[in-house]
């Protein structure tokens, strides 16, 4: 449904200006440095900031010695200030003459929080209004910041749970940690609904909340849920421009987690966006097109049957294309997208549109999330995103091809399901939520085949695992022991960097100096660009120093050993590649790939 509003236009200052790079930015010798190189600080500024950072670092070191769980849990709320200013100074990321003063103020805030925490106080934990906090990421152990808008009604007492809105920021190549922390203490944002905590994730900078940026959102959300009384049935995802793209992404991939979604502008898929907005003509390889399924939201549109969605576009905004694509994709699934359009509006919110979006989102949030829908309609292309409500896809017949499950509760004792490209799945209802007669086995009909499941447990939980062999379904799991992809161990290689990983530095020599030079250069480049684009410090260790604990603690080990090169994953019970190590150097100086198998 298209909703067109017709009053005056209000141009709002968005988180970042929208720009198109175009084909020129794809030429290796012309790609802009991101983030841009900052100004050269005077010797006085450098010494002054370094001295203040040393003082703050010493205070953090003292706090880190504490055995008090609360002190250790709140320490990242202090460390965010040190890391932001340290990195800006160390990597020349003070981008203009005003930012060193901002850095000094952030150090001052860090020192004040350190003093308060040392005294057993933490007033920012009950502060309302604009608050910045932090957490330690599982990916690389880095300190990552996030911002909050805490409503005046928040007291932290009485057991009252609050609605939470996730707001994804727009593109901003100058959004270093210094600028993020400063901005999150000045700007309340576009939407601040009553009695609602608004979480502004950093997303590890300006990567469209993809890969490690995606994990940052989930980790920041977990941090907020531990620290504040959040109503899990009233968590919404929202964003504009690049943040609108993120909103589409989270809505389709985690549809059952949100009460609703309000994406604005941005992009929702790859080929049409690049053609319309970037003016690029693509000639992708087949495997590139396959992997577009990862983040092309129109391919996952059916999942929005479980996430009430209100899209917004300015009438004359080229990024209206994103919602137009989703209108068509949803219509094919029998769903009419609510698409609010600001008349004669470019890349901004029309004031009446803001009011209408808020009205609809308020109504959606009042109802709350549907925890256990009677009908589940689920599409996926990868086991990374393998669950929706009470349906979990455990195995695919062909990865990166469309897989579907449509399952329905029938009466009080049966489930009917149809599948496509699925070879194993689990139907699971948590305690208290199985809608079946506890005295009777649950009847199953799957792809026209009748099966008999177990009775629900006395706590009203019920689980049924199903496996397809030779085109026939049976109750039970795959017990063949054969190597196969599974959730958390499904690839592709990019997926290795969405969980804990370790770079392994080779200490030996290759038979080919050229290959050895390339390996060293690529390792250095990976470390540098991980910091630049995902704002972390990659953990690096020499091959000779790698221990079993390193392998057990890292989901992925990437790099080379004295004789080998590659990237290998651990299974849930540990990791070893074929033989005893990762892929090996060949006599000619190249390398032989190996397969990874569970230990």
Distance CA 423, CA 435 (A): 25
Q: For residue 28, what are the contacts with CB-CB under 8 A and spacing of at least 6?
A: none
pLDDT along the chain (599 residues), means of 10: 47 38 73 93 96 98 97 98 98 97 98 98 98 97 98 89 98 97 97 97 97 97 98 98 98 98 96 84 89 96 98 97 98 98 97 97 97 98 98 97 98 97 98 97 98 97 96 92 87 86 88 90 94 95 88 69 46 39 47 35
Q: Which residues contact 278 (CB under 8 A, 6 or more apart)?
A: 20, 21, 22, 23
Task: Print burial letters for 308-346: b (CB count within 10 Å at least 16), e (below 16).
Answer: bbbbbbbeebbbbbbbbbbbebbeeeebebbbbbbbebb
Helix, coil or strand: residue 126: coil
Helix axes 212-227, 242-253, angle to 10 degrees: 80
| Residues 353, 193: Cα–Cα separation, whole Å | 15
d(CA 375, CA 411): 12
Evaluate whether 462 touches 443 at the Cβ level (below 8 Å).
Answer: no
Give the integer Cα–Cα distance in Å for 217 and 201. Answer: 6
CA distance 49 to 100: 8
Contact 485, 474 (CB under 8 A): no
Instruction: Please work out, in degrees rounded to the nearest 5, the angle formed at the alpha carbon of residue 401 by the alpha carbons of 443 and 273.
Output: 125
Q: Is 96 in a helix, a strand, or coil?
A: coil
- For residue 481, the model assigns a pLDDT of 80
Distance from C-alpha of 72 to C-alpha of 486, rounded to nearest angstrom: 35
What is the torsional sign of CA 30, 34, 36, 41? negative
What is the distance between the alpha carbons of residues 414 and 495, in angstroms, rounded to a whole number?
Answer: 37
Separation in Å, CA 248 to CA 34, 168, 271: 25, 11, 16
**Token pair 């769980």: residue:** 69
Residue with tokens 């400063």: 182
pLDDT in tens, 463-493: 999 999 999 999 999 888 888 899 988 988 8
The Cβ-side half-sphere exposure at 190, using a 13 Å CA radius, reads 31
User: What angle (nearest 5°) sits at the alpha carbon of residue 130, between those of residues 127 and 134?
Assistant: 80
Backbone angles phi, psi at 26, to 5 degrees: -90, -5
pLDDT for position 5: 52
Per the structure block, which two tokens stand in for 50? 């370094």
Beta partners for residue 263, in sequence order? 239
For residue 138, give Cα distances in angstroms to 90, 145, 536. Answer: 24, 14, 11
How far apart (Å, rounded) are the C-alpha atoms in residues 546 and 238? 43
Question: How far apart are alpha carbons 448 and 2 in whole angstroms?
Answer: 39
CA distance 307 to 250: 10
Contacts of 549 (CB under 8 A, 6+ apart): none
Q: What is the pLDDT of residue 421?
A: 98
CA distance 169 to 213: 12
Any idea of the CA torsion for 239, 243, 246, 252, to the nearest 10 degrees?
A: 30
For residue 574, the 8-state DSSP code is B
Return contacts of 494-498, CB within 8 angstroms, 24+ apart.
Answer: 494/211, 495/384, 496/555, 496/556, 496/558, 496/567, 496/569, 497/139, 497/211, 497/212, 497/530, 497/534, 497/556, 498/139, 498/211, 498/212, 498/214, 498/215
Q: Structure pTM?
A: 0.91
Gap between the Cα atoms of 437 and 435, Å rounded = 7
Q: Given this model, what pLDDT does residue 32 score?
A: 86
Tell me, what's the pLDDT at 509? 84
**Beta bridge mates, 445:** 416, 450
DSSP H helices, 228-316, are 242-253, 271-276, 286-292
Long-range contacts: 586-594, Cβ < 8 Å, 24+?
586/511, 587/511, 588/511, 588/512, 589/510, 589/511, 589/512, 589/514, 589/515, 589/516, 590/512, 590/515, 591/515, 591/564, 591/565, 591/566, 593/566, 594/566, 594/568
Q: Which residue has the tokens 């390996």?
A: 519
């Amino acid at each position: 449904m298209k909703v067109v509003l017709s009053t005056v236009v209000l141009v709002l200052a968005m988180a970042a200006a929208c720009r198109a790079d175009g084909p020129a930015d794809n030429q290796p010798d012309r790609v802009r440095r991101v983030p841009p190189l900052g100004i050269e600080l005077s010797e006085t500024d450098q010494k002054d900031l370094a001295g203040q950072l040393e003082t703050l670092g010493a205070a953090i070191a003292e706090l880190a010695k504490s055995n008090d769980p609360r002190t250790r849990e709140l320490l990242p709320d202090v460390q965010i200030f040190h890391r932001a200013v340290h990195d800006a100074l160390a990597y020349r990321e003070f981008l203009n003459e005003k930012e060193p003063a901002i850095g000094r103020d952030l150090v001052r805030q860090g020192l004040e929080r350190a003093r308060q925490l040392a005294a057993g106080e933490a007033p920012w934990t009950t502060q309302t209004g604009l608050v910045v906090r932090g957490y330690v990421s599982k990916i690389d152990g880095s300190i990552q910041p996030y911002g909050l808008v805490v409503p005046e009604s928040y007291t932290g007492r009485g057991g009252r749970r609050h609605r939470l809105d996730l707001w994804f920021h727009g593109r901003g190549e100058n959004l270093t940690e210094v600028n993020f922390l400063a901005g999150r203490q000045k700007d309340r944002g576009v939407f601040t609904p009553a009695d609602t905590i608004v979480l502004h994730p950093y997303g590890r900078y300006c990567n469209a909340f993809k890969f490690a940026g995606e994990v940052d959102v989930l980790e920041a959300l977990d941090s907020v849920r531990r620290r504040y009384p959040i109503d899990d049935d009233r968590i919404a995802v929202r964003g504009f421009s690049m943040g609108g793209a993120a909103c589409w992404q989270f809505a389709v991939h985690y549809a059952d987690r949100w009460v609703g979604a309000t994406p604005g502008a941005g992009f929702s898929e790859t080929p049409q966006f690049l053609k319309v907005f970037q003016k690029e003509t693509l000639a992708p390889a087949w495997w590139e097109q396959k992997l577009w399924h990862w983040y092309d939201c129109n391919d996952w549109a059916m999942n929005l049957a479980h996430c009430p969605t209100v899209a917004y576009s300015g009438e004359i905004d080229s990024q209206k294309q994103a919602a137009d694509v989703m209108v068509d994709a949803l219509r094919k699934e029998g769903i009419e997208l609510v698409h609010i359009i600001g008349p004669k509006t470019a890349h901004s919110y029309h004031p009446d549109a803001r009011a209408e979006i808020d009205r609809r989102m308020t109504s959606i949030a009042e109802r709350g999330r549907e925890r256990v829908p009677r009908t589940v309609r689920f599409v996926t292309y990868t086991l990374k995103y393998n669950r929706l409500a009470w349906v979990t896809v455990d195995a695919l017949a062909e990865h990166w091809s469309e897989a579907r499950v449509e399952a329905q509760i029938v009466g009080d004792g049966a489930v009917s399901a149809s599948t496509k490209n699925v070879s194993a799945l689990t139907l699971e209802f948590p305690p208290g939520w199985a809608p079946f007669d506890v005295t009777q086995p649950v009847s199953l009909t799957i792809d026209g085949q009748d099966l008999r499941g177990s009775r629900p447990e006395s706590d009203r939980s019920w689980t049924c695992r199903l496996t397809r062999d030779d085109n026939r379904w049976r109750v039970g799991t795959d017990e063949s022991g054969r190597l196969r992809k599974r959730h958390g161990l499904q690839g592709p290689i990019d997926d290795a960097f969405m969980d804990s990983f370790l770079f392994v530095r080779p200490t030996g020599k290759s038979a080919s100096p050229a290959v050895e030079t390339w390996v060293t250069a690529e390792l250095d480049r990976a470390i540098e660009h991980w910091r630049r684009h995902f704002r972390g410090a990659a953990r690096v260790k020499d091959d000779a120093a790698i221990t079993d604990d390193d392998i057990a603690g890292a989901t992925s080990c990437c790099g080379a050993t004295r004789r080998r090169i590659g990237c290998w994953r651990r299974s849930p019970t540990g990791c070893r590649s074929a033989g005893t190590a990762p892929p090996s150097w060949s006599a000619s100086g190249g390398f032989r790939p190996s397969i990874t198998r569970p230990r």
